Amino acid sequence: MAKYSSAASWDPNLLVELLINGEEQVKKLEANLGEQASPEFCRTLAQNIESTFKKAIKMVKLRDQDAGHVLPPFCSNNTTPSLSPESPLSANASPRSETSDRVFKDQERREISKKRKTLPKWSNQVRVNPGAGIEAPLDDGHSWRKYGQKDILGAKHPRGYYRCTHRNARGCLATKQVQRSDSDPTIFDVVYRGEHTCSCEKPLGAVAHAPASQQTGTQQSQYVAGEHQKQQQQQQQQQENQLLLNFQTNLKVKTEGLDMGKHEHDVSSFSFPSTPIGCSQPRHSFFANQANLDNHFMDSFSPTFLSPTTSESNYFSVSPCRMSNLSTGFNHHTAESEFTEIISSVTSAANSPVVDMGFILDAGEFDAFDPSNFF
DNA sequence: TGTATTTGACCGGG
DNA sequence: CCCGGTCAAATACA
């Protein structure tokens, strides 16, 4: 963490690590080639490698681009955001002169729209139980409050806008957009923006101990992961597996995205069962998964960092919650540029076209990854 | 009564 | 000017 916090903007060393990571991924690919890994997976892995190097290139370019920029739009956790004008907190906590309220509002609006552009952004695809057909907030471990809904041009279904419930209380700027996929009604595209400055305290604890209860009844029922309820004993293990599955699935689909050129959000299916938990213990696993793939790459870069400018180059699967945590630690990386992180998970193995993956987590690696080291 | 959702209006960017 | 994103009053709900 300190490692990164020191890298307020760009660090050649990080680039080197990125490249090294690429190399290691190549090795992994080689290893997988000799095993049972599906050709698809190997291919996606290869694509991932490609994207890794693309990122490296991008990073260099970005560095030049960002040379003029100063600070990330929001600060990391340890430093309370210097309450930008847009900060709800400022609206709440700081006595804003009420006389010129309108003026302030206008200013705020501008600031907000400016800053929002720079907020980290990543997307999920959430698959819900077919038949459940309920527009769901898709609980991901955070409490969201809907503040708008909009019909989107060309989309069959309206897009829902959610912001963190603690926005006012804690100035959490995290927002998300949920939109049902046109092609597959059981899939929701969830775009997250901003990190949860409120998270990882309450949510974490809650998630850690009651992953299932965390989801509302309706939401819970939507998720294909009925096994969550029925197989709670194996919950953790399943989650870990799911995470793995998710990752592979992501890779796969994302690769497709790569193939297509730029598909920011057209990704794979995603499920939340693991997502909420992403904040808690399983996120260990998750990270381990990441670590498995990315090895110390993840140790070196935040996912956000991996997606310097935009979507086109992101093929990392990260739990939103995790993500927020990560970005928390790496704001300086993410903040500068808008990015889209493609995150996806699979709600259930049943939903996953790629259940058996050759992507096996090594216990050693698993244990080796210690979040505490990370932060 | 307090909180969450709905929904039409508003605003800014492209 | 259009469209996406947000606001905020009205409404629903517990």
* Distances A74 to A83, A139, A342 between C-alpha atoms, Å: 9, 24, 21
pTM of the model: 0.44
Q: Which residue is nearest to nucleotide B6 (CA to C1')?
A: A148
Spacing of A200 CA from C10 C1' in Å:
34
How high is the pLDDT of residue A271?
36
pLDDT band at A147; cut points 50, 70, 90: very high
Spacing of A146 CA from C13 C1' in Å:
15
pLDDT per position as a tens digit, A307-358: 333 333 333 333 334 443 433 333 333 333 334 333 333 333 333 333 333 3
Spacing of A117 CA from B14 C1' in Å:
14
A114 pLDDT more than 60? yes
Which residues neighbour A21 within 8 Å (Cβ) at sequence distance 6 or greater?
A: A52, A294, A295, A296, A297, A300, A301
A114 C-beta less than 7 Å away from strand C: no
Helix (H) or strand (E) holding A62: helix A39-65
Distance CA A316, CA A247 (A): 7
Amino acid at A209: H
Using a 7 Å cut-off to protein CB atoms, list the covered nucleotides of chain C. 2-8
pLDDT band at A16; cut points 50, 70, 90: low
The candidate with the shortest Cα–Cα distance to A276, out of A198, A211, A194, is A211
Helix (H) or strand (E) holding A150: strand A144-150
